[in-house]
Structure 1
Amino acid sequence: MSVYHLESQDVFESTIKVSTLTVVHFSADWAAQCAQVTEVLKELSKLPEVQASGIKFYVCDAEKLSEISLKFMVDSVPTVIFFQNGCQVERVDGADASQITNKVKKYSIDKDASDAVIPQKTLEEELKRLINKHKVMVNPTIRGFESIEDVAKEKSWNIFP
């Protein structure tokens, strides 16, 4: 996987509308930090969990596509904006490689590991979890009460100390 270049506004608009995370790096040729951020994105694109998640990385020339830069308030380069379903979900202003990496990893999923770690709960397991969540569970219909307020009015029940 690699980092792709966005050449037009139409391509940009269609690129950010996908449901998977799209990472767009607004850069300029004259800024040395932009080259560093591009290298970070190239390395991130090689990670197995990032590839499994379908995250795509793009570079957008902030000066060439100035309308897009204005629309997303890109005041300085490098700026990395994270899009999902056409909406901005995260943003990193500046060449903060650790922050960019953390945000990408936050959205990346190792699908094989997630299936193994988080099994689908059955209805019975979920009910047991809910029942055992609190020490006392009051069922107002046991003694013929209409609501929990009626239970609270009953002097033999001290549920609101």
Structure 2
Amino acid sequence: MSKTIPELTLDNFDLVMQSKLPVLVDFWAPWCGPCRTLSPIVEQVAEEMSERITVAKCNVDENQDLAMKYGVMSIPTLVLFRDGAEVSRTVGAMPKPKLVAEIEKNL
């Protein structure tokens, strides 16, 4: 993968949300099996859709305040933001075509 996915924290979350492109945030944790399953799919989507969306990750163990602020109750949770507002949310691992379809319908 040629593009590094930024890791969100309280310090940089607002800066990433100011992106001109929609932002897909992957709320995850290293111990979460479904998160590890979904991670390579998210990385592929980040690479393939880099002209249309920004992708970022948020480790919920290290950023519990952000997880609480956005109501993340289960992981993995993927939240798509446009102009700083949530437009889509999915919970759980999913195949790449389903993730791409969810993003596409909310662009």
Q: What is the TM-score of this pair, normalised by structure 1?
A: 0.59
Contact 2:8 2:56 in 1 (8 A): no
Residues 3/89 of structure 1: CA separation in 2 closer, same or farther (3 Å cut): farther
Report the equivalent of 2:72.
Answer: 74
The offset of 1:10, in angstroms, is 2.2
Contact 2:75 2:92 in 1 (8 A): yes
Report the equivalent of 1:128.
Answer: none
Deviation string, structure 1 residues 38-59 (Cα, Å, up to 9, x no partner): 1111111232xx2332x11111
Moved more, 3-12 or 58-67: 3-12
Higher normalized contact order (CA 8 Å, seq sep 6+, divided by chain length):
2
CA RMSD of aligned residues (A): 1.8
SS at match of 2:55: strand
1:58-137 matched pairs, under 5 angstroms: 58-97=56-95, 98-107=97-106
Task: Indicate the structure with greater strand content.
Answer: 2
The offset of 1:5, in angstroms, is 3.4
Contact 2:23 2:55 in 1 (8 A): yes
Which structure's CA Rg is the greater one? 1
Report the equivalent of 2:51.
Answer: 52
Contact 2:8 2:57 in 1 (8 A): no
Report runs of 4+ in structure 1 exceeding 6 Å deviation.
Answer: none
Q: How many residues align?
A: 105
The offset of 1:99, in angstroms, is 3.2
Report the equivalent of 1:23.
Answer: 24
Structure 1: which 5+ runs fail to align?
109-161
SS at match of 1:26: strand
Q: What is the TM-score of this pair, normalised by structure 2?
A: 0.85
Structure 2: which 5+ runs fail to align?
none
